[in-house]
Amino acid sequence: MLAYIARRLMLMIPTLVGITLLVFMLLALSPGGIGAGLRVSGGQMEASKAALMEAYLEDRYGLDDPIIVQYTRWLGRISPIKFGVRDQVLPTGALVRYPKAIQPTPLEDSWFAETLVPADRLVEIRDDYGVRDGRSVMTRGDDSPEVAEYKAAAKAYSKTRADYLVARKELDKQLVRLAAAEGWSDAVDKGKPVHRRFAGREPDRSSPEWAEVEAAAIAALDAKAVAEAARAREAAAFEVGPYPEDGIAIVPGMLSLAWPDLGTAFSRGRPVKDLILTALPVTLLLNAVTVPIIYLIAIPAGMLAARYRGSWFDVSSGALFVAFWSIPTVWAGVLAIGYLADKQYLGWFPVSGLHANDADGMSFLPSFVEGPDGTSTFSAGYLLDTLWHLALPVACLVYTGFAVLAKQTRAAMLDNFNQDYVRTAKAKGVPARVVLMRHVFRNSLLPLITMFVTIFPAMLAGSVIVEKIFSIPGMGSLILEAINLRDRELILANTFMIAVVNLLALLLADVLYAFADPRISYD
Amino acid sequence: MSQSASNPTGTISGIDVMRGVGAKPSKPFWADAWDRVVKRWGARIGLAWIAVVAFFAVLAPVTATGLPVWTVETVDGEVVRSWSPMWEGLHSVDVALLVGLVVGVPWMVLPPGLVGLTRSHRLGVLIAASIQCGISILVAGVIGDWLTDPEQSEGIRTFATERTAIVPWLAGIVAAVVGAVVMVPFTTFKSRIARIVLIVLVASISTVIAADRFDPPLSNYDRYIDRELAGRYENTWAIVPWSPSQARTSFYTLEPGTTVEAEIPATEGTFFGERRFLLGTDSVGQDVLSQMMHACRLSISIGLISTGISVLIGIIVGSLMGYFGGAVDLVLSRVVEIFMAIPVLFLLIVAAAVLPRNTYMMMAIIGCVSWTLPARFIRAEFLKLRAQDFVQAARAAGLPLRSVLFKHMLPNGLTPVLVQASFSIAAAILAEATLSYLGLGPDGQASWGKLLSSASTATGTFNWWLAIFPGLAIFLTVLAYNLLGEAFRDAIDPKLRKAAH
């Protein structure tokens, strides 16, 4: 059994990689690609400024890298086994990484291989940017000199990197102009130069466009040297170790163990872990209330239907189960809001959300509150208020599960009624009720146990609709928002979590089934 | 068989039974199952509603359209010309469905004595012909879109727009060839000549339809209304005189039964003013009843085609897994697990948010996401069948793999999949309704889910007619397929036949 479990767990890893890769690839295909939610602003900025902003954001979040590179980078952060230099942990809990590598200048190894930054300029750069001092940033009083130096170095690096980005964009612009002048129509794709097409050709070195290109190239190489110096400074400051290191080293400098890092959601600017930790309890609450209710109603109903098979109760409840099963969740939710929640009709329930506006100030249990004029008014209290808000969403989630489970119970019990041991028990004179409860019901529990572990992941996804209709800020809303904004970290983290929960639930179902039914073994 | 003279009262003795008196010839498995299904009241209700939906799916462009059925243009009291704008505005799919209705219903209904084929054989021929016609028309539409795509290169675009006489026929013929090629492996008739005749017949019909309807004119509804108000035209209107996309700003969110003159006082007393919105309008002013009738086609087509795609993929993957076992099973099981571990709705939302929003893409998405269930059924059946004698015999005889898999093993293992098919259709319809509700449905196509989404507005008003009628339609359709599936399952599963009564 243990070998079976271990084998299944090992096999989960390629499945998880496959799932996240599939979802990531699908999103990369979408118009706008990953990070489409970032490129929103635009309207009030000049076109060139908007392009620069976009380029800066792409650079910052690594969105201009190829899709596979982005994915493997995310895989590296998710895996507990980390390669390379260990990250360091800020006091806030966020992670700082080794400074990012600098991208090469366009055509630096073909046209501009001979163009070098003059030696005296290099000395000048090193003097300006290699100096360690804590001057240029605001530091807190209790920051150590290493921390102050790291902060200054990081700020300098990000500024010089942005300058280098601007210089590269300028070079690209001049290259496009050159291509237009030379008539190289295939070297430009949607306004951006395709560098390898430039590399093979010889430009006309006497044209004015070439002079512009050369000037831009020199400026870009200079900016690159500056950025490299700033990077060296930040790397040096990082290696000194201003902050405590993350995880445990296995092979120092190469291999280490650390908690998976879910990253930062760039559409919201908050760590994904925080977002999930806020949304998950809401969904769990919804499911924790729904699942017991489903089981409490469905099992007795199924048992009664099986016991009185063929009676009016069985036939009518059978029809009712099919009808419940066929009601779309969206319709039930819309009808519930329209007739039960909206003030136009009955208005008994709240329309949206999980808590009333003043929920924070309420006491937990219902109580009487002293009013200003001495009369005491009834205040529902946090508990009752939450239950009141939960009533409609839970009702919408319950009826589907109830129909399926009741039918399964009835089918399982009917299956067992025809078995030999039931006939033997009846022949022995065991009372009908004992036969039902002690023999038939126990054997019918097996599919119900396995259904329990498969219902949970279904609820996680099924609540997407209910959470959207009732505006409940749970995992479902988070997922929908992540998909709409194409936020890479959020979507991947959510997919990963859902997949892990589903696979673990499937494994648990198989293991439980082996425990409950001794006839089944996996060896 | 003559009755024995020794029992004039009609009772049958054991000897008679041995002789075969009173024995009926056994029916084929599926014919017998179908008889048992139709006897149940649940199946009858389901089939009745599906028939209603199918009726509207085929006849919606004729019964609910904003174009007049017949227009007579008069100048100074003299009839200048008369024509049918509705007929001219029909698309190729509409015409094909109408032809299918006109040809198919007599084809199926005529008694077997007149046409020498059994009903089930005729049904098979009809299905094959409709698949071929459908593929041809779809391909012709794709060719048309590709030729007139704005990003197409200049040479092709000028060719397409200038040679308006040749291009539709060319596209039609190419599409018909594609459809014919797809149909070649299907054995609709025993004799090869009959098969070829059928293929050529359907191909020529689809070519004519595709060529004629290559570029239907855009519909200008207001022109007919204005000219009738001015007295130039005399129009005969359809039963529901609104098209699903016909809208005016003055028609936003009207209650059922509102007349046009209540919103546009200038039309008081005219034929236009007396028109009613029987089920109201939605938030952009389009008539609800007309949208609901046109949405029938979307539901049925998505249900059938998505399930067809998922069963096809499931059969291919499942048969490979079940037959080969070993390494192939291990790798493909991981693929199946991948699709099982992501909740279907999640993957649908991601795919629909990402891919272009048209009906065919939605059918493909739903089909490609729900194939794991048929695959698992087929795998289980093939694992059982692999050890059977007839399979061993087929392999020993040296039959090719595809013959062993699809001609010998598949017909025996298909039963659970077909029983599940009805439930899969219901699930596909539910999925499409949910996606349309979330706004991720096909663009420009009326859908029940899309109507449902405008029921509760952001400002808090609840438009009851947008919640009740479309929701009821979705509910009844899903219920019909579920009832049908239950009846099928009870009729086919021998275990349950003993237990239930």
Q: State the smallest CA–CA distance between residue A306 and chain B in angstroms.
A: 10
Instruction: Using CA coordinates, name the residue in chain B closest to A27.
Output: B354
pLDDT tens digit sequence for B151-177: 777 777 777 777 777 888 888 888 888
Q: Which of A29, A344, A417 is the closest to B462 by Cβ?
A: A344
A315 interfacial to chain B (CB closer than 8 Å): no
The answer to whether B455 and B300 are in contact (CB under 8 A) is no
Three state DSSP letters for B327-393: HHHHHHHHHHHHHHHCCHHHHHHHHHHHCCCCHHHHHHHHHHHCCHHHHHHHHHHHHHHCCCHHHHH
Region A64-81: what's the mean pLDDT? 83
**Residue whose tokens read 């001495």:** A374
| Token pair in block for residue B364 | 């493909």
CA A85 to chain centre: 26
CA distances from B162 to A113, B143, B148, B149, B158 (A): 52, 16, 12, 15, 6
Q: What is the pLDDT confidence band of residue A39, given thresholds at 50, 70 and 90?
A: low
Half-sphere exposure of B91 (CA within 13 A, CB side): 12
- Give one word for A62, left, alpha or beta, with left for phi > 0 and alpha for psi -120 to 50: left
| Strand residues in B21-106 grouped as ranges (E) | 70-75, 78-83
Region B190-210: what's the mean pLDDT? 88
Please give the DSSP secondary-structure letter assigned to residue A33: -
Q: State the smallest CA–CA distance between residue B213 and chain A in angstroms.
A: 32
Region A111-138: what's the mean pLDDT? 68
Those residues whose C-beta lies under 8 Å from the C-beta of residue A17, and which sit 6 or more positions away, are A75
Q: How far is Cα B236 from Cα A494, in angstroms, rounded to an integer?
A: 57
Q: Which of A18, A330, A337 is the closest to B449 by Cβ?
A: A330
pLDDT tens digit sequence for B254-268: 888 888 888 888 878
The pLDDT assigned to B5 comes to 52
Radius of gyration of chain A (CA): 32
Report the alpha-carbon angle B114-B119-B120, nearest 5.
150
A18 interfacial to chain B (CB closer than 8 Å): yes
- What is the residue-averaged pLDDT of chain B? 85
Region B374-379: what's the mean pLDDT? 90
**Residue whose tokens read 């109760």:** A313
For residue B464, which of A2, A337, A201, A308 has the smallest C-alpha distance?
Answer: A337
Contact call for A502 and B478, based on CB within 8 A: no
The answer to whether A182 and A203 are in contact (CB under 8 A) is yes
The pLDDT assigned to A117 comes to 75
Contact call for A310 and B475, based on CB within 8 A: no
Q: What residues of B are in contact with residue A335 (Cβ under 8 Å)?
A: 467-468, 471
Q: How far is Cα A349 from Cα A345, in angstroms, rounded to an integer?
A: 11
Q: What residues of A are in contact with residue B343 (Cβ under 8 Å)?
A: 457-458, 460-462, 498, 502
B327 interfacial to chain A (CB closer than 8 Å): no
Q: Which of A22, A331, A499 is the closest to B474 by Cβ?
A: A331
The pLDDT assigned to B11 comes to 75
Q: Which residues pair with A369 in a beta bridge?
A: A377
**Number of A–B residue contacts, CB under 8 Å:** 136
Q: Which residues of B201-232 are buried (b: 16+ CB within 10 A; e: fewer)?
A: ebbebbbebbbebbeeeebebeebbeebeeee
CA distances from A158 to A48, A102, A103, B122 (A): 20, 11, 14, 74
The answer to whether B173 and B207 are in contact (CB under 8 A) is yes
Contact call for A499 and B341, based on CB within 8 A: yes
A325 interfacial to chain B (CB closer than 8 Å): yes
Please give the DSSP secondary-structure letter assigned to residue A438: I
Statement: residue B70 has pLDDT above 70: yes
Contact call for B452 and A417, based on CB within 8 A: no
pLDDT tens digit sequence for B387-398: 889 888 988 999
Q: What residues of B are in contact with residue A342 (Cβ under 8 Å)?
A: 456, 460, 462
Statement: residue B136 has pLDDT above 50: yes
Contact call for B344 and A498, based on CB within 8 A: no
Q: How far is Cα B473 from Cα B489, in angstroms, rounded to an integer?
A: 24
pLDDT tens digit sequence for A458-509: 777 678 888 888 888 888 888 888 887 778 888 888 888 888 888 888 888 8
The pLDDT assigned to A175 comes to 85
Q: Which of A338, A465, A498 is the closest to B342 by Cβ?
A: A498
The residue count for chain B: 501
A-contacting residues of B 37-56, CB under 8 Å? Answer: 42
pLDDT tens digit sequence for A145-178: 788 888 888 888 888 888 888 888 888 888 888 8
Q: Which of A11, A465, A491 is the closest to B334 by Cβ?
A: A11
Burial of A85 (0-12, 13-18, 19+ CB in 10 A): middle
Contact call for A344 and B334, based on CB within 8 A: no
The pLDDT assigned to A48 comes to 66
B350 interfacial to chain A (CB closer than 8 Å): yes
The answer to whether B462 and A345 are in contact (CB under 8 A) is yes
Q: Report the 10 Å Cβ neighbour count for A183.
A: 7
Contact call for B471 and A457, based on CB within 8 A: no
- Please give the residue that has the higher pLDDT: either A72 or A48: A72
- What is the residue-averaged pLDDT of chain A? 80
The residue count for chain A: 523
Q: State the smallest CA–CA distance between residue A393 and chain B in angstroms.
A: 16
Burial of B132 (0-12, 13-18, 19+ CB in 10 A): buried
| Token pair in block for residue B419 | 């029983």
Q: What residues of B are in contact with residue A330 (Cβ under 8 Å)?
A: 433-434, 437, 449, 452, 471
Contact call for B434 and A329, based on CB within 8 A: yes
Prediction pTM value: 0.85
Q: State the smallest CA–CA distance between residue A497 and chain B in angstroms.
A: 10
| Token pair in block for residue A404 | 């399926």
| Token pair in block for residue A194 | 């395709």
Burial of A109 (0-12, 13-18, 19+ CB in 10 A): exposed
Radius of gyration of chain B (CA): 27
Statement: residue A291 has pLDDT above 60: yes
The pLDDT assigned to B318 comes to 92
B-contacting residues of A 345-374, CB under 8 Å? Answer: 345, 351
Report the alpha-carbon angle B249-B253-B258, nearest 5.
95
Q: What residues of B are in contact with residue A477 (Cβ under 8 Å)?
A: none
For residue A324, which of A220, A414, A250, A396 has the smallest C-alpha distance?
Answer: A396
pLDDT over 70, % of chain A: 90
B-contacting residues of A 403-422, CB under 8 Å? Answer: 414-415, 417-418
The answer to whether A117 and A191 are in contact (CB under 8 A) is no
Statement: residue B245 has pLDDT above 90: no
A-contacting residues of B 262-321, CB under 8 Å? Answer: none
For residue B444, which of B95, B91, B157 has the smallest C-alpha distance?
Answer: B91
SS3 A54: helix
Q: Which of A328, A339, A484 is the closest to B474 by Cβ?
A: A328
Q: How far is Cα B159 from Cα B136, in angstroms, rounded to an integer?
A: 22
Contact call for A331 and B452, based on CB within 8 A: yes
Contact call for A323 and B479, based on CB within 8 A: yes
Q: What residues of A are in contact with residue B486 (Cβ under 8 Å)?
A: 322
The answer to whether B244 and B282 are in contact (CB under 8 A) is no
CA distances from B255 to A330, B278, B283, B288 (A): 22, 9, 11, 10
A279 interfacial to chain B (CB closer than 8 Å): no
The pLDDT assigned to A47 comes to 64
The pLDDT assigned to B500 comes to 37
CA distances from B199 to B121, B169, B195, B213, B234 (A): 16, 18, 6, 21, 43
Q: State the smallest CA–CA distance between residue A126 and chain B in angstroms.
A: 48
Region B37-58: what's the mean pLDDT? 92
The pLDDT assigned to B497 comes to 44
**Residue whose tokens read 């048209």:** B358
Those residues whose C-beta lies under 8 Å from the C-beta of residue A24, and which sit 6 or more positions away, are A34, A67, A70, A71, A74, A488, A491, A492
**Residue whose tokens read 């690209």:** A172
Question: Which has the minimum average pLDDT: A241-245, B88-92, B107-111?
Answer: A241-245
What are the DSSP calls for B154-193, one per residue? Answer: HHHHHHHHH-TTHHHHHHHHHHHHHHHHHHTT--SSSSHH
The pLDDT assigned to A141 comes to 67
Contact call for B355 and A29, based on CB within 8 A: yes
Contact call for A30 and B354, based on CB within 8 A: yes
Q: What is the pLDDT confidence band of residue A371, given thresholds at 50, 70 and 90?
A: low
A-contacting residues of B 71-110, CB under 8 Å? Answer: none
Instruction: Using CA coordinates, name the residue in chain B closest to A492.
Output: B350
The pLDDT assigned to A407 comes to 84
SS3 A193: strand
| Token pair in block for residue B461 | 């008003």
**Residue whose tokens read 């998710």:** A78
Q: Report the 10 Å Cβ neighbour count for A61.
A: 19
Q: What residues of A are in contact with residue B426 (Cβ under 8 Å)?
A: 326
- Please give the residue that has the higher pLDDT: either B116 or B195: B195
SS3 B493: coil
Q: Which of A18, A322, A462 is the closest to B486 by Cβ?
A: A322
Contact call for B354 and A323, based on CB within 8 A: no
Q: State the smallest CA–CA distance between residue A459 and chain B in angstroms.
A: 10
Q: What is the pLDDT confidence band of residue A193, given thresholds at 50, 70 and 90?
A: confident
A-contacting residues of B 477-496, CB under 8 Å? Answer: 478-479, 482-483, 486, 495
Q: How far is Cα B501 from Cα A350, in angstroms, rounded to an integer?
A: 45
Q: Which of B334, B349, B501 is the closest to A14 by Cβ?
A: B334
Pairing of strands B70-75, A81-83: unpaired
Q: How far is Cα A420 from Cα A428, in angstroms, rounded to an integer?
A: 12
